[in-house]
């Protein structure tokens, strides 16, 4: 549904195809009483808490945090605390009961154990414990790219145990946005181009999902209900918009013939998903990017690189064709190889 050529559209809307390289800085700070690191290129900043293994803040310098944070209250009775922010989990979640006894919460070695930090002048590496049941160790590398993107490289290494098929799953929790946009395949295996995990298409979800074009889906929060949607798109990306600011998450797409994505039909799994949390335990949405399912044998390593960026849209009115074309152009931005 591109109304203008992509390059021209980005220029007219104040969304440069690239920005001058700026020196990134890494400094020590605190977040909710925890030691943390602030990585910034002078325009945008991220705050990472190694004790929680999460990105807890992402936004323009001096601007709002696009990530949702839980209140800093004590742990629950089961010892788990969903602190919000962005974290990396194993997928598919349907296999969690094999290793943790339930679909939720995650085992403490996957989410909750502190990660060791190694800081350099403009780079941060976090290394976690061996994931119980999976026999893999997670390493997270944080860098700032020359075009103003936060680059997060998630690497899993199989260090012990029998072979496992695992997808590397970045789960990013955001406060309720005005809307979230996902790309769709015009040859999707699913009715209307996307898949309801649960929730719709019951009447109470009638306004939650709108197909704006054969390749663009708009989703809106539903405060009283929970739902989840996946897309088998040829692009691994999502955009959330709040008050005219677009938060873009994207990762390189893989050849699904050789490395299928999880949860969907054969050859039609989901590189991108959206979850609307409808109440209880906080009110937030989740933007999710997944890698293909890799077969991990001892000694194997696979990485999934995710890039985040912020853009101010030319107008906060998401009902206009111009705004929708602008967002679709963002989703179609080519993602460099890892």
pLDDT in tens, 132-159: 999 999 999 999 999 999 999 999 999 9
Which residues, 6 or more positions from 265, have their beta carbon under 8 angstroms from its beta carbon? Answer: 189
Write the pLDDT tens digit of every residue in 67-115.
Answer: 999 988 766 556 788 999 999 999 999 999 998 788 899 999 999 899 9
Looking at the domain assignment, is residue 252 inside a domain? Answer: yes
Please list the residues that pair with 45 across neighbouring strands.
40, 59
CB 266 within 8 A of CB 244: no
Residue 104, CA distances (Å) to 2, 30, 74, 99, 222 in order: 41, 29, 19, 11, 22
> Which CATH number do you get for residue 302?
2.70.98.10
Looking at the domain assignment, is residue 309 inside a domain? Answer: yes
- The per-residue pLDDT of the chain, averaged, comes to 89
The total domain count for the chain is 1
Predicted pLDDT of residue 314 = 94
Looking at the domain assignment, is residue 337 inside a domain? Answer: no
Looking at the domain assignment, is residue 177 inside a domain? Answer: yes
Looking at the domain assignment, is residue 187 inside a domain? Answer: yes
- The string of DSSP codes covering 174-204 is E---SEEEEE--TT-SSGGGSEEEESTTSGG
Query: Does pLDDT of 6 surpass 60?
Result: no
Predicted pLDDT of residue 259 = 63
Over range 109-129, report the average pLDDT.
96
Looking at the domain assignment, is residue 338 inside a domain? Answer: no
Over range 304-314, report the average pLDDT.
97
Please list the residues that pair with 181 across neighbouring strands.
218, 239
Token pair for 115: 């990660």
Domain that holds residue 148: 6-331
Q: How far apart are CA 119 and CA 140, in angstroms?
A: 12
| 20 or 36, which is more confident | 36
Share of the chain above pLDDT 90, in %: 76
Q: What is the pTM of this model?
A: 0.92
Token pair for 294: 């890799």
Q: How confident is the model at residue 11 (pLDDT cuts 50, 70, 90)?
A: very low
Q: How far apart are CA 201 and CA 183, in angstroms?
A: 19
- Which residue, 52, 23, 53, 26, is CA-closest to 39? 26
Q: How confident is the model at residue 201 (pLDDT cuts 50, 70, 90)?
A: confident
Predicted pLDDT of residue 18 = 41
Over range 19-34, report the average pLDDT.
85
Write the pLDDT tens digit of every residue in 214-272.
Answer: 999 999 999 888 999 999 999 999 999 999 999 999 999 876 555 699 999 888 999 99
Query: Does pLDDT of 3 surpass 50?
Result: no
Predicted pLDDT of residue 77 = 55
186-190, 278-282, 292-296, 303-307: the lowest-pLDDT one: 278-282
Outline where the chain has alpha helix (H).
6-12, 96-100, 321-331
Looking at the domain assignment, is residue 336 inside a domain? Answer: no
Over range 14-42, report the average pLDDT.
80
Predicted pLDDT of residue 255 = 67
Over range 28-54, report the average pLDDT.
97
Looking at the domain assignment, is residue 261 inside a domain? Answer: yes
Query: Does pLDDT of 4 surpass 80?
Result: no
Predicted pLDDT of residue 17 = 37
């Amino acid at each position: 549904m591109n109304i203008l050529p992509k390059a021209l559209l980005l220029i007219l809307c104040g969304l440069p195809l690239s920005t001058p390289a700026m020196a990134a800085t890494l400094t020590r700070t605190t977040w909710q009483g925890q030691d943390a690191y602030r990585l910034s290129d002078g325009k945008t900043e991220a705050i990472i808490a190694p004790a929680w293994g999460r990105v807890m803040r992402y936004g323009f310098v001096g601007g709002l945090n696009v990530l949702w944070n839980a209140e800093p209250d004590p742990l629950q009775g089961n010892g788990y605390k969903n602190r919000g922010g962005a974290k990396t989990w194993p997928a598919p979640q349907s296999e969690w009961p094999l290793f943790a006894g339930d679909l939720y919460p995650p085992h403490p070695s996957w989410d909750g154990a502190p990660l060791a930090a190694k800081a350099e002048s403009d780079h941060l590496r976090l290394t976690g414990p061996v994931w119980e049941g999976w026999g893999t160790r997670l390493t997270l590398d944080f860098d700032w790219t020359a075009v103003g993107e936060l680059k997060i490289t998630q690497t899993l290494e199989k260090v012990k145990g029998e072979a496992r098929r695992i997808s590397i799953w970045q789960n990013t929790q955001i406060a309720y946005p005005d809307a979230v946009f996902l790309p769709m395949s015009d040859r999707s295996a699913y009715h209307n181009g996307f898949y309801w995990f649960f929730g719709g298409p019951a009447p109470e979800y009638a306004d939650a999902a709108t197909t704006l074009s054969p390749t663009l889906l708009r989703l809106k929060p539903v405060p009283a209900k929970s739902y989840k949607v996946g897309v088998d798109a040829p692009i691994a990306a999502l955009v959330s918009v709040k008050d005219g600011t677009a938060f873009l998450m994207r990762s390189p797409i893989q050849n699904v013939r050789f490395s299928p994505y999880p949860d969907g039909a054969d050859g039609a799994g989901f590189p991108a998903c959206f979850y609307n949390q409808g109440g209880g335990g906080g009110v937030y949405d989740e933007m999710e990017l997944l890698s293909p399912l890799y077969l991990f044998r001892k000694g194997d390593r696979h990485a999934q690189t995710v890039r985040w960026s912020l853009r101010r849209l030319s107008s906060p009115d998401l009902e206009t064709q111009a705004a929708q074309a602008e967002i679709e152009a963002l989703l179609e931005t080519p993602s460099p190889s890892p």
